[in-house]
Structure 1
Amino acid sequence: MGKIVITTNVSLDGVVQDPDGEEGFKLGGWFGQFGGKDLEEWTRVETDEALGAEALLLGRRSDEWFATRWQSRSGEWADKLNSMPKYVVSSTPKDPKWSNSTVLKGDPVSEVSKLKQEISGEILVYASYQLVHALIEHDLVDELRIVIFPVVLGAGERLFGETSDRKPMCLVDTRTLGEGLVLLTYQPV
C-alpha cells in the first residue's frame, strides 16, 4: 500500500505561496532569501527523499510548474524526478507536461484512494495546495514533512485550509537543516 507524503516548504506562519518569487506575489522569493547556505543541506534531504519515493502526485498547475524547471536538468535528483511515475489530478482535461505522467480522471478522492492501493512505497506531493487541502480533508495523508523557513510573511496562501473537523497529528521527527531551517515530520493520529 502506498503512503501519501506531503513534502513542502513554509514560512514560520505557514505561507507556501510563491517561494521563488516568480509568481509576482509581493512577499514572494522567501525561499532563496531566507534559505541561504542552509539550502545545501535542504538539497541533500530532498534528494534522498526523492530517491526513496515511488511516485509523485501533483495538481495540474504544479505539473506545469515543475515540468518547466526539471525536464532540462540532470543529476541524481533531477534524473529521479524526471523518470519516476507522476500522477496529475486535474479537473481540466489537459495533457500533463512532465515526463512519465498520467492524468487521474474522475473523483480525486477515489482516484487517489485507488492509487494508494496500487503503488507500494511513498507517493510524494510537491506544492499542489488545493490538492493538499482535499487530501487532508479526506484523511488520505499519511505523513507531512514541513521545512520551516525563518521568516514571518503575514499574508499569502497557507499550507492548511479549512477542514470539516480537527485533524490531530503526532510529531514523529525533528531535524535542523543547516543553521536556520527546521524539518518537522508529522503523522495523523
Structure 2
Amino acid sequence: MKNTLLILFIIGIASSCNSNSTEDVQKKLTKAEQFIQLYTLEVVPLFDEYSDLNIPEEIQIDENDLSVNAGAAFGYVEVSKGLVELKDQSIQIFVLAHELAHIATLKQAEGFNLKGELPSGSETSDYKKAEYLADLMAFYLISKNEPETYDLLKEKLNYLEELLGNGDFTHPSGSSRIESLMKYLKGMDNTSKETAFSNRFRTIWSMN
C-alpha cells in the first residue's frame, strides 16, 4: 500500500471508551475510530497469552484502497479503507487477528518446541505456510476467546474464500486456505480444540 494514509493512534480512543458509556461513544466515533476501538478492545486481547509480543499501537488507513486488505509490521498495522468500512465485524476481527498472528507465529512455534525460522517446503514456500498458520491462529484464538464471533465466521467460509482470492506467489488461493481451516475444524470432531490446533500447526509447519 503506497497511497494516501490516514494515521491514527489507539491510545486516545481507548481512553475515551473507558470514560463514556459504549452507546454514547459509538454515536460520537467515526468509522475509523470505531475500527480502532474494535482493534483495541476485541483483537489485541486475543494475543494476551503471548508474552513480550510487540503488538502494533498505530493504525494506518489507506484511503485510496477500497478492497478488503491489511498488513502488519512491528509498530503499525496498515489497513484499507474498504476493510474499515466493511459492515461485517466478524470479518474485520478475523483479518486483523490474521495480521497479528503473523507477528505471534514464531512465539507459538516455540511453545510447540518448533525451533528456528519457518522452513520452506519443496512444494509449499515459507511465505504460503505463514499465511496458513496466520489463518489457523486467528481462527483458534477467536474460537477460544470470542465464541460468538467464531460461530459467525464458520457460517461465512464461502465469503472468506472469495475475499482471499486466487492467490499468488506468496499467498495460497482462498480455496486452499479454507480447505486448510476445514482440516482444523474437522480435527475437533475427535479431539479437543487445543489438540486440534497443535496438530494442524505442526502439520503446516512441516509441509513439503
* Bigger Rg over Cα: 2
The structure in which a higher percent of residues are strand is: 1
TM-score, normalised relative to structure 1: 0.30
Q: Which has the higher contact order (CA 8 A, sep 6+)?
A: 1
TM-score, normalised relative to structure 2: 0.28
